[in-house]
Structure 1
Amino acid sequence: MTYMTDPMRGLPDPEYNAELYADVPVKRLFAWVVDAFVIFGLTLLVLPFTAFTAIFFYPALWVLVSVLYRVISISSGSATLGMRLVSIELRTWRDERFGFGEALLHTLLYALCVSFLVPQIISAVLMLTTAKAQGLHDLALGTAALNRRR
C-alpha cells in the first residue's frame, strides 16, 4: 500500500491514510496504563537494591525509572512495551523511527507536560481533536503516534 505524506512534514496525511491514525488516542491511553504498570513493577524491582531506602524518595525513583524505561524502549523500537502491545509506534516529522536523541527529547517534553495539570489537559484535548492525534509534546516536535504498518 502506498502512503500519502504531508509534503511539509513527511508524516502520512491523515486525510488519505486515515487507517494509520484510527483509534490512536484510545490505544495511547491503553498503552499509557500498561506502561504505568510496567514502571511500577520496575520500581518494585529496584527497591531492594536501595536497601528499601528508595521508599523515602519513591516519586523521584518513579520519575527516574519512567524516563529510563521510555528512552530505552522508544529508542530501541520507536515504541514502549504498551505501545507495542496495541500496535502503535512513534514517528518523527520525517516519518522515521525514533533514535536515541528523539526518544530522549520526546520523553523529556512528555514528562514536562504531565508534570503540570494545564499542559496535561491541553495535550489530552489535542490528542482527541487534531487530525494526527498529536499531544502537546508531539506538536512541539512534529512527531506522531501511528498504527503500525504491515
Structure 2
Amino acid sequence: MTQTPDPDSQPEFYTGVPTKRLFAWVVDALFTLIACLVILPFTAFTGIFFFPLMLLIIGFVYRVATLTSGSATFGMRLVGMELRTAGDKRLDAGTAFAHTLGYTVSVAMAPLQLISIALMCTTPRGQGLSDMVLGTVALNRRTEI
C-alpha cells in the first residue's frame, strides 16, 4: 500500500497548501453563491426565504460531485491541489461525502472551524479536522508525464 508523500522528505507536495486552501475556499464559495443566484429565479424567488439552506445544499452537492469526479473542487483545481486518501488514492464517492459532511459540520460550529484552521496551519501535512478523521491530505497536484 502506498502512502501519501512524507512532508519531511518531499516538502514540495505541501508547500503553500494552507494558502492555496484558503484561496480555493473563496473560489468555491463564490461559485456556490453564483449557482444559487442562477437557481433563485427558478424558485419564483421564493428561494430568498430559505437562501441559507439553498447555499448549504448546493454547496454540499457541488463539493461531493467535484471531489468524487477529480478529487478536488474547482477552486482546488484552479490553485493546483487535490485531496488524497491515506493510501494515496483519489477520493471515491463515500470518502468525498464523508469529507464534505465533516467540512459542513466544522463550518457550522465556529470552534471546530477555528481548530481546523489552526491544524491546517500548524501540522506537517496541513490537515484539517475532517482530514485527520478520514486520513485524507491536501497536496499540490502531481504533474502527469
2:142 aligned residue: 149
Relative to the length of structure 2, the TM-score reads: 0.96
1:83 counterpart (76, 81, 94): 76
Letter in 1 for 2:122: T
What is the CA-CA distance between 1:10 and the residue it aligns to? 1.7
What is the CA-CA distance between 1:112 and the residue it aligns to? 0.4
Letter in 2 for 1:16: S
Unmatched tracts of structure 2, length 5 or more:
none
Once the two structures are superposed, the pairs formed by residues 1-150 of structure 1 within 5 Å of their partners are 10-150=3-143
What is the CA-CA distance between 1:93 and the residue it aligns to? 1.1
Unmatched tracts of structure 1, length 5 or more:
1-6
CA RMSD of aligned residues (A): 1.1
Letter in 1 for 2:125: K
Q: 2 CA distance for matches of 1:46 and 1:104? A: 23
Letter in 2 for 1:67: F
SS of 1:89's equivalent in the other structure is: strand
Runs of 4+ in 1 over 2 A off after TM superposition: none
What is the CA-CA distance between 1:101 and the residue it aligns to? 0.8
Q: 1 CA distance for matches of 2:47 and 2:68? A: 27
Relative to the length of structure 1, the TM-score reads: 0.93
